[in-house]
Structure 1
């Protein structure tokens, strides 16, 4: 049996948050909103937020690259969640939470089974060799994305294990105002986390591809640094997100010098997401596939992008394939 101290409702947010009893604009059927106050969290201050690097929070699903079967592999996020009985106990505990209490998990019996290849996320705490649940009662973790996986077909579309490459969206090395889509060696992405974005991810806020011809890409975390960030004050950030071109993003992630990540979502400031025109879609993009010496499968996303090699588009939405 593993012990988890008194659970706190933690939000990885720049500001201290408060709960308002009105329907959430982010989650359906959630009868409350989590909104930011004007007070910086102690976690942000302790991590030296004033000297952190602000980056765009990209709206996708989190992935991880690490070794599997002796080679670099893409891994999909899979949290180990409590079974119905344990979840009922945990929710009852949360609603009657007192500082003098602590919740006791039985790791062996309280959680649903996961595949044998599942691994826990690195940052989570352990007790007696067992990974401990977070404040939401979940154990974050990963499963490898196999070639032609049906369950993770959109993840699978952006990796080629024969060529050992992944389709990545990032800034062009020689032109920071230009985005670039190119195959990147998976070995260059080892032990990194990335966001998978595209047609079938989170309602496709960036307008990639179509239902008939879906397009998905990987974006390394921290890839899009914010060059002209707002002052770290509630009203300044709110105005920047609401009114500036660079602020047409889902949120901000500050990368602190000690490795701490501090986040702020538009919803924390009462702003809507997704929005009609995003900053990611206001930038030109070029396709660069010529350096890859491999014959990709004719129906693969890699093959379709290779036909666009060298072509430049006004925005991501404009990328189309001739089938």
Structure 2
């Protein structure tokens, strides 16, 4: 088993968390709602946000690019979860003790996990994510009972079929969505996987999370990797809960799932619409409305799948073309049919 770089998975809310005694709409197993309070997260150190990179939080599925069996590879997120009996005990514990990720550590009641017996099996090549607590050689679950981790994508797993459309693992290339350094507009690009090693990304597209960004169609599904921290946000209001809530509701640039602060210390903080009790998804998303150009790089690689139609071949046929909105990219693809 190959050692992964310490990619962090844990990301805390930028504000102090408040708990409401209502079932979570986001997590079916959570008997309470987690909302942002008016005060900043007590974990924030003085000046920690100075120089922080502020980026858009995307609604997709998290992936890792890292070596596997000596080749650059795409890894899918897979949390190790409790088995049926352990989950029943843990839910009872949760209903009796309500605390969040921001609760002071010494104040948290501890659920006694038996790591060797309480969890569902994971593949042999499963690896815990960076930042997961390790005790006596065992990866420990977080406050919701999950142990975040990764598995290399594999054609044998149906749940990886859409991950695999974003990469050609034999050739070692990937389809990424990024911002142009010159214009700031979006670019759909083809890049070597090795240039992304050690990074995490969000996989978004036609068959991911209900496709809030309206990418592609059933005839021409589109799945893109967006490296975390690559879509910058500017012009945010001051760090005040009410002002940010108004920004999300009234500003065109606020039509996003959330915000991520990447601190120079390595810490990550977030704020998403659920923290503010706001609906998601919404219409006319910021990302969906941006112009996008297809990079000429798709013509540089000889694909491993021969005559088989793939996303790479579709984009290679429209290199250099520009679309006024990302959500309309399928109109360019339909022209090649």
Give TM-score scaled by structure 2 length.
Answer: 0.87
- Among 110, 113, 117, which residue is 2:121 paired with? 113
2:121 maps to 1:141: no
- Structure 1 residue 314 corresponds to structure 2 residue 324: yes
Counterpart position of 2:312: 302
Q: What is aligned with 2:205? A: 198
Q: Distance in 2 between matches of 1:289 and 1:116?
A: 39
Q: Does 2:135 correspond to 1:150?
A: no
Residues in 1 aligned to 2:26 and 2:95: alpha-carbon distance in whole angstroms: 22
- CA displacement at 1:17 relative to structure 2: 2.1
Alignment partner, residue 172 of structure 1: 180
Distance 2:201 2:260 in 1: 13
Task: Choose which of 248, 252, 257 in structure 1 pairs with 2:255.
Answer: 248
- Give the C-alpha shift of residue 52 in structure 1: 1.8
| Aligned pair partner of 2:291 in 284, 290, 303 | 284
Q: Match of 2:252, SS?
A: coil
Give the unaligned 5+ runs of structure 2: 1-9, 99-106
Distance 1:30 1:277, change over 3 A: farther
Preserved contact between residue 81 and residue 120 of structure 2 (Cα < 8 Å): yes
Note if contact 2:31-2:95 (Cα within 8 Å) is conserved in structure 1: no
| Residue 66 in structure 1 maps to residue 73 in structure 2 | no
Q: CA deviation at 1:103?
A: 2.3
Does structure 1 retain, via aligned residues, the 8 Å contact 2:171–2:303? no
Partners in 2 of 1:100 and 1:80 — Cα distance? 22
Deviation string, structure 1 residues 213-265 (Cα, Å, up to 9, x no partner): 21110000001111222210112211221111221110000001111110101
Does 2:225 match 1:227? no
Does structure 2 conserve the Cα–Cα contact (< 8 Å) formed by 1:20 and 1:32? yes
Q: Report the Cα offset of residue 115 of structure 1.
A: 0.7
State the SS of the aligned residue for 2:13.
coil
Matches within 5 A, 1:29-178: 32-45=32-45, 48-97=48-97, 99=107, 101-147=109-155, 149-176=157-184, 178=185
Q: CA contact under 8 A between 2:168 and 2:303: conserved in structure 1?
A: no
- Determine helix, strand or coil for the equivalent of 1:240: helix
Aligned residues: 313
CA-atom RMSD in angstroms? 2.2
Give the secondary structure class of the aligned counterpart of 1:103: coil
Compared CA separation, residues 164 and 83, structure 1 to 2 (3 A): same
Matching of residue 262 in structure 1 with residue 248 in structure 2 = no
